Amino acid sequence: MKKPQVITIVVAAVAVVLLLAFGRTVPKAGSKPVAETKAADHDHEGAAGGFSIDTVLATSKKELPANQVLRLDLLEQSITRGDVKKQKLEVYHQLAHFWKDTAKSFIPYAWFTAESARLENSEKSLNFAAQIFLSQLTQVENESTRHWMAEQAKDLFEKTLSVNPANDSAQVGLGATYLYGGIGTPMEGIGKIRAVVEKDSTNIYAQMTLATASLMSGQKQKAQERLETVLKLQPQNIQAILMLGDIYEKDGDKDQAVQWYSKAVKLVQRADIRTELEKRIEALKK
């Protein structure tokens, strides 16, 4: 594993957990559309830039073994007469768990998590579902898939903020969606995040997101200042430590890079990442 991959793994902690759980987050290349049942006629359920959630669900189902298809069919057909909303919510939860735990397919999992959140319409569930999509935006290469995911995150964050306009996590998440998802403009995203920092300079999530944005735009000094602010608040923030080590290494300051990577080694829990960091440190010492 190369050094940039090590940094990415730890920096995108949530993304790593999901990647480990699902293996892949988009349909296999070359998958062909199959017959599908139309989703409800809502903006968030249709095709976006060539992406169709109906097609993805149908194709993903086609790839399942027969016993899992049977289980899925039973779940999909389990809404009966009575309290339809309550039953739908329960089925959506079960479908999300099925795609996450049994089928290990990210997009169907994220989709049904989002649908259950929209139906429940609670601040917590909407923000959680939005963060799932956001966590994977930088991992998806296919433009139409990434755009669709960004639109899902945007919709969910905006719904979260409609429930509670003071939810800073959702505000930062919405800004990050603009930055990573290619919707709106980068400055719109940065503006949303800066508004949170101006209100609360101790917001770690906002500071880290702005640091990442600074690196994306080549402003290493500004990113370093943000990361140093984070470490004053959270001295053991491994993401900030690794990002600083990476900045120093790219600047050619091997001694500082080694110091920061060495701090990270003491904090990393996963043995494989710790081993790769140790190898990197030894290479920098030569």
CATH classification at residue 76: 1.25.40
154 in any annotated domain:
yes
- Mean pLDDT for 61-67 is 94
85 in any annotated domain:
yes
210 in any annotated domain:
no
Say how many C-beta atoms besides its own lie within 10 A of residue 165's C-beta: 9
Q: What's the confidence (pLDDT) of residue 184?
A: 85
pLDDT of 22 strictly over 90: no
> Which one is predicted more confidently, 125 or 24?
125
147 in any annotated domain:
yes
- Dist CA 81 CA 119 (whole Å): 18
Nearest to 245 by CA among 278, 198, 209: 278
Each residue of 97-150: pLDDT tens digit?
999 999 999 999 999 999 999 999 999 999 999 999 999 998 999 999 999 999
CA angle 101, 104, 110 (to 5 degrees): 90
119 in any annotated domain:
yes
Name the pTM for this structure: 0.81
Q: What's the confidence (pLDDT) of residue 82?
A: 61
Cβ burial of 153 (10 Å; 0-12, 13-18, 19+) is buried
226 in any annotated domain:
no
Read off the amino acid at residue 60: S
**Which domain, by its residues, includes 25?**
3-38+45-200
**How many domains are contained in the chain?**
1
Q: What's the confidence (pLDDT) of residue 14?
A: 39
279 in any annotated domain:
no
Residue with tokens 């998590």: 113
270 in any annotated domain:
no
Two tokens at 176?
């990050």
pLDDT band at 87 (very low <50, low <70, confident <90, very high): confident
- Mean pLDDT for 265-269 is 93
Q: What's the confidence (pLDDT) of residue 230?
A: 97
Q: Are 183 and 177 in contact (CB under 8 A)?
A: yes
pLDDT band at 49 (very low <50, low <70, confident <90, very high): low
Alpha carbon 136 to its chain centroid, in Å, reads 3
